[in-house]
Structure formats: C-alpha cells, structure tokens
Amino acid sequence: MPRLLFITLSNIGDLVLTTPALEALHHGYPDHLIDVVADTRSSVLLRACPYLGTLYHRQKSDGIRGLLGLVTELRKRRYTAIVDLRTDYLPWLLRGDRRASRWRRPPHGIHAVEQHFAITSQVFPFAVALPVTRVWVSPEDIASAKTLLAKKTRGRWLALAPGANWAGKIWPVSHFAALVAAVTDIFDGVIILGSPPDAVAAEILIENCPLPCLNVVGKTSLTVAAAVCDEVDAFVGNDSGLGHIAAARGIPTLTLFGPGRPDRYVPWGPKASRVLAPAEDLKALQAPVVGAALRALLAR
C-alpha cells in the first residue's frame, strides 16, 4: 500500500491541533497509509488511528545522532507526499514526490489548526474541507475507562482538570470548588482528570466539592482519559492538553485562559469555548463568570 509521511508536533495539545491536517491528508489520499513522526508521550493519541502506518519517534534529547538515524530509517521508503509541521528542512532530506513544510507557508488564519491545514494543503491532490480535531480510542481504552468509573451513577457529570504545565495557567482549586457549587442544579457528579502532579489539587477539590466526586488523576493514559471524557456531559479545565482531548472527543469544553494566546490555541471544535481571565490573571477570574459561560455553552 502506498504511504504518506506526516511529521507532527510534540506537546499533547499541539499534536491534537495537527489532527485536522492529518485527517484532511487521509481524505485527500484515502488509499494510503500515513506514517507519522511524533513525540513518544503524545504519540499514544495516534495509536488507534485506522489509517496509521508506522509510528516513528523523534525526541529532542536524541540530538543530531538521533536525527540522522531517523533520516536513515525514513529514507528506506519513498513517499507519495511528505508534510512536516515541525521543521523547515526534513522533507528535503527524504524521498518524496510532493513536499510541504513551514518553509513554504501559505496564507492562513489566526488559529494553529488553520496554519497546519494551510501547510498540508500544498500536497492535496484536490480541495479538501477542514476537519475537526480527532483523538482515537481503542476498545481497551473504553473498557479501562468504564472500570475506573464503575461507581459512576446515572445523571449529568462534569469533568474538571485543575492542572496545567505551569502555575500561571492554573485556576485556583478553590475556584473550581466554587464553580461546582454554582452548577449543582445542572450536574449530579464530578470526575477529576489530570496527571500525578495534580493529585494534591484533586484531593483539595474533593474535600470541598458539594457533589459526588470520582478521582482518576494519575490513573489514566491519555487515550483512557479521552474515553473517560466520553462519559461526561461537559469539561472545564485550564489551558492544557486535556482540554484539547475533550474537545476532540466532541464534549462541550470550556477552557480557562490566563497568560497565553487563546485566539491561536483554544481547543478547536463546534462545542469548544473559552473564558479569558481579567488582565490574564486567573486568580481574578471568579466562579460565577465561569458558571455562566458553562451554562451558555451547554445551552448553545
């Protein structure tokens, strides 16, 4: 079977924002498998992709020796098209009939998804519509999520992700608890998602949460977290990868932005929205404001 090569980005949210370009590439070449170069941690989000060929990993820590080894491996195959969203040069070191990279970046919109799609469109054999983001899950991921949520009762559940990769992006955990108190009339329970460093925040949230809580912080892979999102009615979180995963699963997703570039990096999808903190200070963002935004999102 013929192959395409797609070189994606490393961070979790960044990778999710490249999946519309990956999906569009599949629509343009439906008879091809797509080999992907990605980061080890975030690449798990691609493993259940039905048209994935070979998954290669490129780590920054591998240095020039690792890069040369990757180039040597990739040159064993000739690709119908190569799309590189990470570097300006790699496609020109490989064997391909068509190439696209940031070096020849065409006009695009404000959002990162629009930029990635514009770069990828250089190799489309015909016009392709811009898809939404995608995160694929396996039957095993779904089974694991259901096991973790075995105590989940019927009703409407809200997923909260109180963590982020640096302090300036984190809404105070007391504000998350106040948010739950403000929406007890429309939700019956809370599921807390996150990685191991978020465990303390999760425990504080549980102690102050007026609704039943299921804490799966540190207990899921990225794809199991995606499957958990399928079991909730809405998601609220900081500017982090989990918000992009939730939006990619089609869940109403509200992202809280302090510092950052929300016009460029807000989760992409018809059910994704955002709240901007006053003066980019998340401590100044009050729970009633977020609660009103969540109600508006669910009513949309």
Model confidence at 300, pLDDT cuts 50, 70, 90, reads: confident
**What does pLDDT average to over the chain?**
95
- Confidence at residue 60, expressed as pLDDT on a 0 to 100 scale: 72
* The domain over range 139-299 is classified in CATH as 3.40.50.300: no
Higher pLDDT, 138 or 89: 138
- Identify the CATH class of 3-123: alpha beta
- Confidence at residue 245, expressed as pLDDT on a 0 to 100 scale: 98
Shared fold status for 3-123 and 139-299: yes
Which amino acid appears at position 223 of this protein?
T
Contact 162, 238 (CB under 8 A): yes
The position carrying tokens 């991921």 is 141
Lowest mean per-residue pLDDT among 106-115, 235-244, 271-280: 106-115
The position carrying tokens 């493993």 is 47
Model confidence at 45, pLDDT cuts 50, 70, 90, reads: very high
- Confidence at residue 75, expressed as pLDDT on a 0 to 100 scale: 95
291, two tokens: 């609660």
Domain layout of the chain by residue ranges? 3-123, 139-299
Q: Is pLDDT above 90 for 169?
A: yes
- Outline where DSSP puts E strands in 15-171: 33-38, 52-57, 79-84, 96-101, 157-161
Model confidence at 136, pLDDT cuts 50, 70, 90, reads: very high
Express as a percent the part of the chain with pLDDT over 90. 89
Residue 4, SS3 per DSSP: strand
- Confidence at residue 99, expressed as pLDDT on a 0 to 100 scale: 95
Mean pLDDT of 46-62: 91
Tens-digit pLDDT profile for residues 56-113 = 998 777 778 888 889 999 999 999 999 999 988 899 999 999 999 987 777 778 999 9
- In DSSP terms, 289 is beta-bridged to none
Mean pLDDT of 136-155: 97
Tens-digit pLDDT profile for residues 213-241 = 999 999 999 999 999 999 999 999 999 99
- In DSSP terms, 56 is beta-bridged to 37
187 CB contacts (<8 Å, ≥6 apart)? 155, 156, 157, 158, 180, 211, 233, 234
Express as a percent the part of the chain with pLDDT over 70. 99
Please give the biggest Cα pair distance in the chain.
Answer: 59
Q: What letter does residue 40 receive in the DSSP assignment?
A: T
- Confidence at residue 58, expressed as pLDDT on a 0 to 100 scale: 84
Q: Is pLDDT above 90 for 299?
A: yes
- Confidence at residue 66, expressed as pLDDT on a 0 to 100 scale: 82
The position carrying tokens 């080894």 is 69
- Confidence at residue 258, expressed as pLDDT on a 0 to 100 scale: 95
